[in-house]
Amino acid sequence: MKKLLLAFCLFTTGVHAQSTDSVTIRKIYNEILTNSPSYEWLRELTQKVGPRLSGSEGAQKAVEWSKQLMEKEGFDRVFLQEVMVPHWVRGAKEVAYIRNGKQKITVPVAALGGSVATAPKGVEAQVIEVKSFQELRDLGPEKVKGKIVFYNRPMDPTKLNTFEAYAGAVEQRANGANEAGKLGAVGAIVRSMTTVLDDNPHTGGMRYATGVPLIPTAAISTNGAELLSKSLKENANLTFYFKQNCETLPDAKSYNVVGEIKGSEKPDEIIVVGGHLDSWDLAQGAHDDGSGCVQSIDVLRTFKALGIKPKRTLRAVMFMNEENGLRGGVGYADYAKKNNEKHIAAVESDNGGFTPRGFGIVGTAQQRAKVMPWKPLLAPYGLHEIGAGSGGADIGPLAQLGTVLFGFKPDSQRYFDFHHTGIDNFEAINKRELELGAASMTALVYLLDHYGL
């Protein structure tokens, strides 16, 4: 009988906790959907601060802006973590055209981050179109030497999650120049990473492997890629010209920006919520990743606004240099390790400011099982996709310290319309979608803080 009673008590306590939690989560959503300044913060970060590639003046402004914002919000502690970051600059806008007989047809390209410049007068050569590295290797050096390699494998439109389609194509951007350079190519042009047909080249990171010739590499818009491919079918001897003026300067000093609310019961257990402060240089970095930054700050603001005193220490982290080096993410984990900090969980928002779908989890089966009872609390808010998945690039290095990682998972359908292009601007953001993301993250952080892991 005692056992039964105990079981009953546990049961009712469980019900009570769930009901308290559901009330708190409802309050979180109400607060954010009614009072969140996140959209206005994002307006400032995107329109006033603007593009903020690592090492740029914009990145430095973003560091100062986010530090001041978190100080103004009255977090318990706001501090900078110094990191040295790559400093790549695009220089003057690129020029590219297809020369087909007497025709010269201009096409939109953008140098890939990390690429070398072309010779000052540009590079012009015949073109070899391939869909895979294997296809290129099969051609061999004699067919590739002196040519421009054109990688034209599209993102697979049948993948429901566009990040899977991205993962299936992005090696062309990341390693295309290496594979082409090894075989004697003089340049590498990569179809932009999107399923949309349009005129926006999508830049993004690449890195030269050691020992390969450093050939210039650029992204071409998908319409440009379609045109080039079609033109090659008509005239295999056409030439492609491009000129880019980018340059890698010495590493620059920069910072992660961290805002903290001290835990009231277990201050030594830390929960991180973050995004990355740097962006590519072509636009304002609204979805990538201004959204994640303002959402993360809004998580801590909301705890304060609702008077929820976290048991554990909460940190909003604006990571520097996700796009072309990950020095901020690596640096943050290094600091944590050096200072013997215990990070129980880290949540990252770096998949755009779109309508929420759920969270990916990186942790053991046991740790994931701990999260499953929370699903009914989150389902009413459209958060159905909670399970093993990806965390985020910046929080990735924390996994070595045993931290459980959570990747905020908004709907992915529109992300690659904007990613790394000139149109990833404030106008691309929907206020409600941005706020729902912040509320989803706050609800998860609330549960993580309340129940631990």
Which parts of this chain interact with Zn ion (CB under 5 A)? 288-289, 350
One symbol per residue from 109 to 148: x for binding its own copies (CB under 8 A), - otherwise; what is it? ----------------------------------------
Closest alpha carbon to 292 in 311, 309, 279: 279
Least distance between its own copies and beta carbon 165 (Å):
10
Q: Which does 94 bind (CB under 5 to 8 A by kind): its own copies, Zn ion, none?
A: none
Q: Are 353 and 430 in contact (CB under 8 A)?
A: yes
- Among residue numbers 248 through 277, which ones bind its own copies (CB under 8 A)? none
- Residue 158 lies near its own copies (rule: CB under 8 A): yes
Least distance between its own copies and beta carbon 33 (Å):
5
Q: Which does 288 bind (CB under 5 to 8 A by kind): its own copies, Zn ion, none?
A: Zn ion
Q: Which does 278 bind (CB under 5 to 8 A by kind): its own copies, Zn ion, none?
A: none
Among positions 1, 4, 160, 365, the unique one binding its own copies when judged by CB under 8 A:
160
Sequence length of the chain is 453
**Whole-angstrom Cα Rg for the chain:** 24
Least distance between Zn ion and beta carbon 27 (Å):
30
Token code pair at residue 406 = 């959570």
Token code pair at residue 339 = 């200072």
| Residue of 94, 269, 322, 348 with catalytic role | 322
Among positions 73, 411, 424, 449, the unique one binding its own copies when judged by CB under 8 A:
411
User: CA-to-CA distance for 396 and 384, rounded, in angstroms?
Assistant: 23
Distances (CA, A) of 141 to 136, 177, 212, 353: 9, 14, 14, 44
For Zn ion, the closer CB: 201 or 216: 201
Q: Which does 195 bind (CB under 5 to 8 A by kind): Zn ion, its own copies, none?
A: its own copies
User: CA-to-CA distance for 326 and 34, rounded, in angstroms?
Assistant: 35
For Zn ion, the closer CB: 231 or 440: 440
**Segment contacting its own copies (CB under 8 A): 3-11, 70-78, 158-166, 298-306?**
158-166
Among positions 281, 288, 323, 417, the unique one binding its own copies when judged by CB under 8 A:
417
Least distance between its own copies and beta carbon 30 (Å):
5
CA angle, 87 then 91 then 92, to 5°: 165
Least distance between its own copies and beta carbon 430 (Å):
6
Least distance between its own copies and beta carbon 162 (Å):
8
Least distance between its own copies and beta carbon 417 (Å):
7
- Among residue numbers 433 through 452, which ones bind its own copies (CB under 8 A)? 433, 436
For Zn ion, the closer CB: 28 or 318: 318
Q: Are 103 and 268 in contact (CB under 8 A)?
A: no
- Residue 200 lies near its own copies (rule: CB under 8 A): no
323 is catalytic: no
- Residue 357 lies near its own copies (rule: CB under 8 A): yes
- Residue 223 lies near its own copies (rule: CB under 8 A): no
One symbol per residue from 316 to 355: x for binding its own copies (CB under 8 A), - otherwise; what is it? ---------------------------------------x
| Residues with active-site annotation | 322
Residues binding its own copies (CB under 8 A):
29-30, 33-34, 157-158, 160, 162, 195-196, 355, 357, 379-382, 384-385, 411, 413-414, 417, 430-433, 436
